[in-house]
Structure 1
Amino acid sequence: MIREQATDKRSPKTVRYEADLIVVGGGLSGTCCAITASRAGIRVVLVQDRPVLGGNSSSEVRLWVLGATSHMGNNNRWAREGGFIDELLLENLYRNPEGNPLIFDTIILEKVVNEPNITLLLNTAVYEVEKSDAETITGLKAFCSQNSTAYELVAPLFCDASGDGVVAFQAGAAFRMGAESSEEFGEKFAPTAEYGELLGHSLYFYSKDTGKPVRFVPPSYALQDITQIPRYRRFNTKEFGCQLWWIEYGGRLDTVHDTETIKWELWKVVYGVWNHIKNSGQFPEAETMTLEWVGQIPGKRESRRFEGDYILKQQDVVEQRTHPDAVAFGGWSLDLHPADGVFSEKPGCNQWHSKGLYQIPYRSFYSRNIKNLFIAGRIISASHVAFASSRVMGTSAYGGQAVGMAAVLCAQDGLLPRDLTEPNRMKKLQQELLKTGQHIPGLHLHDESDLTHQATLSASSELILNELPPDGPIIPLTSAAAQMLPLPAGRVPGMTVWVSADQPTTLTVELRRSSKPDNHTPDVTLRTLTLPLQKGKQDVELDFDTVLDEPGYVFVTFPKNEHIRLQYSALRVTGVLSVFNKINAAVSNFGKQEPTEDIGVDAFEFWTPERRPKGQNLALKIDSGIALFGVENLRNGIQRPTNQPNAYVADPADPNPTITLSWPSVQRIGRVELFFDGDFDHPLETVIMTHPETEVPFCVRGYILCNDRKERIFQESDNHQTRNTIRFEQPVETRSLTIHLKAMNGPVPAALMEVRCYTE
Structure 2
Amino acid sequence: MIISEPTSERALKKIQLEADLTIVGGGLAGTCAAITAAREGVKVVLVQDRPVLGGNASSEVRLWALGATSHQGNNNRWSREGGVIDEIAVENLWRNREGNPLYFDSLLLEKVRAEPNITLLLNTAMVGLDKDGPDRIKTIHAFCSQNSTLYDVTSLLFCDASGDGIVGYLAGAAYRVGAEKADEFDEAFAPAESYGELLGHTIYFYGKDTGEPVKYVAPDFALKDIKAIPRHDQIEVKQYGCALWWLEYGGRMDTVHDTEEIKWELWKVAYGVWDYIKNSGKFPEAETQTLEWIGTIPGKRESRRFEGDLMMSQSDIVEQKRFDDAVSFGGWAIDLHPADGLYSADSGCHQFHSKGVYQIPYRTMYSRNVDNLFTAGRLISSSHVAFGSTRVMMTCAHNAQAVGMAAAMCQEGGFNPRDLLEKDQMQALQRRLRRSGQYIPHLELPEDREDLFHSAQVKVSSEAQLASFSQSKHLATMDCARALLLPAQPGVLPEMTFYFSSKSDQTLEVQLRRSSLAGNYTPDDILETLSLLIPEGEAMAVTAKFSAKIAEFEYVFVCLMACPGVEIVQSEMHHTGVMPLVHTANKKVAKDAVQRPPVGAGFNCFEFWLPERRPVGKLPAVTFNPPLSCFGADQLRNDYARPFIQSNAWMADLSDEKPTLELIWDGLKKVQKVVIFFDVDYDHAMETVQWHHAEDAMPFCVKHYRLYAGVGQLLAEDCENYQGRVELNLREPVETNRLKLELLDTHGAPASIFSIQVYSV
TM > 0.5: yes
Q: Which residue matches 1:524?
A: 525
Aligned residue number for residue 452 of structure 2: 451
Asked if structure 1 preserves the Cα contact closer than 8 Å seen for 2:532 and 2:544, the reply is no
- CA displacement at 1:136 relative to structure 2: 0.6
After TM superposition, list the pairs within 5 Å mapping 1:289-688 onto structure 2.
289-444=289-444, 446-471=447-472, 473-537=474-538, 538-688=540-690
Amino acid at match of 1:116: P
C-alpha distance after superposition, 1:20-52 (max 9, x if no partner): 000000000000000000001110000000000
Aligned residue for 2:521, secondary structure, equals coil
Determine the C-alpha separation between the residues in 2 that align with 1:269 and 1:262.
11
- How far does residue 472 in structure 1 lie from its aligned partner after superposition? 5.3
Q: CA shift at 1:533, angstroms?
A: 3.0
Per-residue CA deviation, residues 54-94 of structure 1 (Å, 9 max, x unaligned), is 00000000000000000000000000000000000011101
Please state how far the C-alpha of 1:417 moved relative to its aligned partner: 0.5
SS in 2 for 1:740: strand
SS at match of 2:434: helix
Query: Distance between the aligned counterparts of 1:597 and 1:283, measured in 2?
Result: 41
Q: How far is 1:285 from its partner? A: 1.1
Q: Which residue of 2 aligns with 1:210?
A: 210
For residues 345 and 160 of structure 2, what CA distance do their matches in structure 1 show? 36
Cα distance in structure 2, aligned partners of 1:532 and 1:114: 61
- Normalised TM-score (structure 1): 0.99
Distance 1:487 1:225 in 2: 59
Per-residue displacement from partner, 1:511-548 (whole Å, max 9, x unpaired)?
Answer: 00000110000000000111233322422221211111
Which is further off, 160-169 or 553-562?
A: 553-562
Task: Please name the residue that 1:757 is paired with.
Answer: 758
Say if 2:506 and 2:535, in contact at 8 Å, map to a contact too.
yes
- Residue 635 of structure 1 aligns with an amino acid whose one-letter code is R
Amino acid at match of 2:267: W
| Shift, 1:194, TM fit | 11
Which residues in structure 2 correspond to 1:220-235 (within 5 Å)?
A: 220-235=220-235
Is the 1:472–1:616 Cα contact (8 Å) retained in structure 2? no
Which deviates the most, 349-358 or 732-741? 732-741
Aligned counterparts of 1:554 and 1:619: Cα–Cα separation in 2: 18
In the alignment, the residues of structure 1 paired with residue 509 and residue 606 of structure 2 have an alpha-carbon distance, to the nearest angstrom, of 20
Partners of 2:197 and 2:253 within 8 A in 1:
no
Distance (Å, rounded) in 2 between the aligned partners of 1:127 and 1:632: 55
Deviations 1:441-499 (A, max 9, x none): 11246321111111111111111112222235221201110000100112222221112
Once the two structures are superposed, residues 95-130 of structure 1 have per-residue CA deviations (whole angstroms, 9 ceiling, x without a partner) of: 100000000000000000010000000000111111
Q: Deviations over 1:396-431 (max 9, x none)?
A: 000100000000000000000000011111111100
TM-superposed CA distance for 1:733, in Å, is 2.1
> Structure 2 CA distance, aligned partners of 1:615 and 1:622?
21
Partner Cα distance (2:142, 2:269) in 1: 34
Conserved 8 A contact 1:195-1:339:
no
Aligned length: 759
Q: Which moved more, 1:489-498 or 1:542-551?
A: 489-498
SS at match of 1:303: coil
Q: Letter of the aligned partner of 2:440 in structure 1?
A: I
**3-state SS of paired residue (2:631):** coil
Deviates more, 1:468-477 or 1:373-382: 468-477
Partner letter of residue 511 of structure 2?
A: E
Comparing 189-198 with 662-671, greater Cα deviation is found at 189-198
The aligned counterpart of 1:28 is 28
Alpha-carbon separation, structure 2, partners of 1:334 and 1:33: 24
Which range moved further: 544-553 or 262-271? 544-553
Q: 1:689 to 1:479 in 2, by over 3 A?
A: same
Residue 635 of structure 1: how far off its partner (Å)? 3.4
Partner of 1:128: 128
> Which residue type is aligned with residue 143 of structure 1?
F
For the pair 1:111 / 2:111, whether they are aligned, the reply is yes
Name the residue aligned to 1:692. 694
Counterparts of 1:633 and 1:15, CA distance in 2: 54
Give the corresponding residue for 1:5. Answer: 5
Structure 1 runs (4+) deviating above 3 angstroms are 191-196
Q: Counterpart of 2:727? A: 725
Would the alpha carbon gap of residues 568 and 334 (structure 1) be closer, same or farther in structure 2, given more than 3 Å must change? same
Residues 598-626 of structure 1, C-alpha deviation per residue, up to 9 Å, x if partnerless? Answer: 10000000000000112111122222222
- CA change 1:118–1:289 in 2 (3 A) is same
Q: Provide the rounded CA distance (Å) in 1 between the counterparts of 2:351 and 2:653.
A: 42
Q: Is 1:144 matched with 2:144?
A: yes
SS for the counterpart of 2:458 is: strand
In the other structure, the counterpart of 2:281 is 281
Question: Alpha carbon RMSD of aligned pairs, Å?
Answer: 1.2
For 2:90, the equivalent position in structure 1 comes to 90
| Counterparts of 1:708 and 1:527, CA distance in 2 | 51
Question: 2:630 is paired with a residue of what secondary structure?
Answer: coil
Question: Residue 550 of structure 1: CA displacement?
Answer: 1.2
1:501 is displaced (CA, Å) by 2.1
Q: How far apart are 1:230 and its partner, in Å? A: 0.9
Shift of 1:440: 0.4
Structure 1 SS opposite 2:132: strand
Distance 1:337 1:126 in 2: 30
Instruction: Give 1:381 deviation, angstroms.
Output: 0.3
Give the counterpart letter for 1:580 in structure 2.
V
Report the Cα distance in structure 1 between the residues aligned to 2:574 and 2:211, rounded to whole angstroms.
42
> Offset at 1:634?
2.3
Shift of the alpha carbon at 1:2? 1.7
Which AA in structure 1 matches 2:699? P
Shift of 1:707: 2.0
State how far apart, in whole Å, the 1-side matches of 2:258 and 2:599 are: 35
Q: For structure 2, which runs of at least 5 residues remain unmatched after alignment?
A: none
1:291-342 CA distance string (max 9 Å, x none):
0111000000000000000000000000000010000000000000000111
Structure 2 length normalisation: TM-score? 0.98
SS of the equivalent of 2:565 reads strand
Distance 1:694 1:444 in 2: 34
SS at match of 2:92: helix
Q: Tell which deviates more after alignment, 256-265 or 626-635.
A: 626-635
Rounded to whole Å, the distance in 1 between the matches of 2:132 and 2:508 is: 73
Which residue identity lines up with residue 611 of structure 1 in the other structure?
A: R
1:637, distance to aligned residue in structure 2 (A):
2.1
Task: Find the counterpart in structure 1 of residue 271 from structure 2.
Answer: 271
Cα distance in 2 between the residues matched to 1:300 and 1:648: 43
CA distance in 2, matches of 1:475, 1:579: 12
Aligned twin of 1:254: 254
After superposition, give the CA deviation of every residue in 1:677-723 in whole Å (9 maximum; x if it has no partner). 11110010011211011111111111001122223221111111111
Aligned-partner residue type, residue 91 of structure 2: E
Deviations 1:340-373 (A, max 9, x none): 1111100111110000000000000000000100
1:196: Cα distance to partner?
A: 7.1
Q: Identity of counterpart residues, as a percentage?
A: 52
Give the secondary-structure state (helix, strand or coil) at the position aligned to 1:587. coil
Paired with 2:604 and 2:498, the residues of 1 have a C-alpha distance of 33
Residues 705 and 715 of structure 1 are in contact (CA less than 8 Å); yes or no, is this contact kept in structure 2? yes
Give the counterpart letter for 2:251 in structure 1. Answer: G
